[in-house]
Copies of this chain bind each other. A is one copy, B any other.
Amino acid sequence: MPTRFTALEILDLRFPTSHTRDGSDAMNPDPDYSAAYVILRTDRPDGLVGHGFTFTIGRGNEVVTAAIAALRGLVVGRTLEEFTDAPGAFWRMLTGDSQLRWLGPEKGVVHLATAAVVNALWDLWARAAGRPLWKLLADLGPAGLVRCVDFRYLTDVLTPAEAEARLAEQAPGRAAREARVRAEGYPAYTTSAGWLGYSDDKIRARCRAAVAAGWTHFKLKVGRDLADDVRRCALVRGEIGPERHLMVDANQVWDVPQAIAWMAELKRFRPLWIEEPTSPDDVLGHLAIARAVAPVGVATGEHAMNRVLFKQLLQAGAVAFCQPDACRLAGVNEYLAVLLLAAKFGVPVCPHAGGVGLCELVQHLSIFDYVAVSGSLAGRVIEHVDHLHGHFEDPVRLRRGRYLPPERPGYSAEIRAASRAAHAFPEGAAWRAAAAP
C-alpha cells in the first residue's frame, strides 16, 4: 500500500528577535526570524508526518505562506513512493507548474515556498526510513543521488553521467569518513560574537567566551562605517590571536568599486573571506571583486536564488567559498545540485545558517557532503549562531566548536508544538506579549 499525502498544514511562525538586535547587520537592522512552516500529513496508520519550513526575517512571511497554499494541490493526493521513486522528477513537477513558474521563475517567494514543501518531503522520507537525513542521502548511492537532481540548465557544465562518475569515485572512502565524522564532528564557525548591533564590550566578551569554548573561526559583520569596521576588526583579531580565522560579512551593502576600496582597508586583518560584498545576483561583480581582494576569498550564496546562479559563480571562478541556503534553494534536491557543482570546481561549501532552524538543516547537508560528495573537510565550516535552538525537537549539538552528527530519524526540522503555538503570528503568546505596553 502506498503512503498518500493527505494534508499540508501551513503555519506562520515568527520570533521577536529584533528586540535584542540578535541578527543585526548592515542590510538587516532588525530581523524577526520567522518560518513559513508546513506539516505534511499522510494516511499511514502510525501517523507518519513530515515537517519542513523556509526561513524569512519577518514581514512578508504571510506572502510565503500564501505561496505554499498555491503549491498545496501539487502535493496533497500524491504518494511518498512517487517522490522516492523519482525525486528529481517530483521536484521538477513542483517547480514546473507553468503559471506559478511565471512568478519567478525558480526564485523569490515561490521558490522559498517550494523549499518548505520539499524540506518536509525529505523529512518525511527520512523518518519513514528511520534514518537521519544525512545518512539517508549517503546511502542512496551515486545513481540514487543523481535521480534526485533536476539537471535542467546545468548540462553545459555538469551532466548526470559526470555527476554519477564523481560520486562513484568517492564511494570507497564513505565508511571511513562516516566513522570519522561521528567521532570528531564537523567543523563550524561562530557568527554570534559579531553582530553589527552589538557594543564593543559585548563583542569582546563573546569572543573570549568563544575562544574558551574551542571555536577557531569567527565572523564579524561589516559595511556600515569604515572606521567602525577597522576598530572592530582590530578588536576581534586582538581577541582571537593571529592563528584563528576571522571572516567578514557585508550583507550586500556595497557596489563593486566600493567593495574593492573598503576591503583594501580591511585586508590587513587577514580575513579568510569577505562575504556578500555586493548584490547576490552579480556574477561578474563578484569576479571583479575576487580578482581585486585576493588572497582574501569571496564568499556568497545565502541569497543566491537557484542552481543556475551557483553554476555561474563557480564557472566564472567568482567565489572561493560557496554558501548555499537550505531554504532559499528549493530544498534538498536543488542543494544537492549545488554540492555536485561545487565538488566539480573544488570549491568548499560553507553553508549559510543561523536564523531559525537553518543550523538544524544544514548540518545534515554538510555531513552528507563530506561523507559522499566532496570527501573533504578542507576549508569547510558550517555557520553556527546560538539562537532559538531550544524550540526544536532535535536541536543541533556542538562540542568544542564542531557539530555532532544528528542521530534521530528525519531532517531535524520539527519545531516543538508548544513553540509553534507560542510563536504563531500574530495570535501566539510571544506576539501578544511583544504587543503589550
Contact = CB atoms under 8 A, between A and B. Distances in A.
Interface of A: 27-32, 56-60, 62-64, 66-67, 70, 97-112, 152-156, 252, 255-258, 278-285, 288, 303, 305-306, 308-309, 311-312, 315-316
A39 B105 CA distance: 27
Copies in the complex: 2
A63 B282 contact: no
Contacts of A252: 105
8 contacts: A30-B99, A59-B70, A60-B70, A67-B109, A108-B305, A109-B109, A154-B255, A281-B309
Interface centre among A56, A106, A153, A257 (most CB of B within 10 A): A153
A288 to B, nearest CB: 7
Interface centre among A102, A284, A315 (most CB of B within 10 A): A102
B63 A156 contact: no
Contact of A284 (B30, B99, B111, B316): B316
Contacts of A102: 28, 31, 56-57, 60
A275 to B, nearest CB: 15
A100 B257 contact: no
Nearest to A34: B99
Contacts of A288: 156
Contact of A280 (B32, B105, B109): B105
A66 B62 contact: yes
B152 A255 contact: yes
Contact of A107 (B98, B153, B156, B305): B305
A156 B257 contact: yes
A280 B102 CA distance: 12
Contacts of A316: 284
A54 to B, nearest CB: 10
